[in-house]
Amino acid sequence: MKKNYVIAYLTFAIVLALVAYYTMDTTEQAPVESEEQLTVNWSYDGETGPQQWMDVSADYAACGRGELQSPINIEVSNTAKEELDEEVKLNYEKALFEIENNGHTIEANSTTQDNSLMINDEEYKLTGIHFHSPSEHQINGQYFDMEAHLFHETKDGKMAIIGLFIESGEENKELAEMWANMPKDGAEAVKVLKNPINLEQLLPEEKNVYQYVGSLTSPPCTEGVNWFVLEQPIEMSNEQINQFSSIFLQNNRPIQQLNNRDVYKIELD
């Protein structure tokens, strides 16, 4: 009687183990499928360009059907004057980065965790900086030479991006080491920069920003992004701007409809 019980128990355990094994096997296959989806390619022109992003993958539907898309043209005379009941504060200091060419832009990933943007006591940590040429946002219908995006995220995935216009002028010393190590194509390995970038120093002195709710400007064009576009541009030499555009001649998404959105002008702390 006791022996039968043990045998039945063992059989049950073996069946359970087999079920577990095969379930594990299929979950191991799942990432391969999603990797294939990730390699579905989009671009800034041609058959997989911005007008077709929504057709490239079902995951990119927001790129075509969204109503809160970015970038936008900011008409200064149309910005909302009323005070927002919101406190936005920058906690920036020196940060270490590693840079890569992801085929769509140059991406500098922060390897330090100390930089953040606070929106009403909620912490959005800086995860990285990338660049567009020419700018994505417009002010009064005008493009700038380039635009940097400083990407921030909360623990539960809420996103905030600071848009930083770049115009031709003095050499930008804060970004000199990054530029000297810029990978020309995606085949080049990630490069670790030796010296930290002083983000406080990188930003313009005046911190007036245009704030609105928009989206990621590349697929999957996810909405609900808190945008803060700095009014005052920073400078880079012609040589620095040309170096970037020799790799990415044009990696900006066209201007999107504003629809019923308000754009506020506020000052960052």
User: Which residues sit at the interface with Zn ion, rule CB under 5 A?
Assistant: 149, 217
CA atoms 227, 229, 230, 234: torsion sign = positive
Pick the closer one to Zn ion by CB: 159 or 266.
Answer: 159
Could you tell me how many residues make up the chain? Answer: 269
Nearer to Zn ion, 80 or 127 (CB): 127
Report the candidate in 135, 125, 109, 129 with the shortest Cα–Cα distance to residue 159.
125
Nearest to Zn ion of 119, 159 (CB atom)? 159
Name the minimum Å distance from CB 149 to Zn ion: 4
Cβ(131)–Cβ(252) under 8 Å? no
Nearest C-alpha neighbor of 93 from the set 110, 76, 75: 110
Closest residue to Zn ion, based on beta-carbon distance: 149
- In what helix (H) or strand (E) does residue 191 lie, and over which residues does it extend? strand 191-192
Phi/psi at 157 (nearest 5 deg)?
85, 10
Q: Based on CB atoms, which residue is closest to Zn ion, 133 or 217?
A: 217
145 three-class SS: coil
Radius of gyration of the chain (CA): 23
* Beta carbon of residue 254, minimum distance to Zn ion (angstroms, whole number): 14
* Nearest distance in Å: CB 48, Zn ion: 18
Q: What's the closest the beta carbon of residue 146 comes to Zn ion, in angstroms?
A: 11
> Is 137 a residue of the active site?
no
Residue numbers annotated as active site: 104
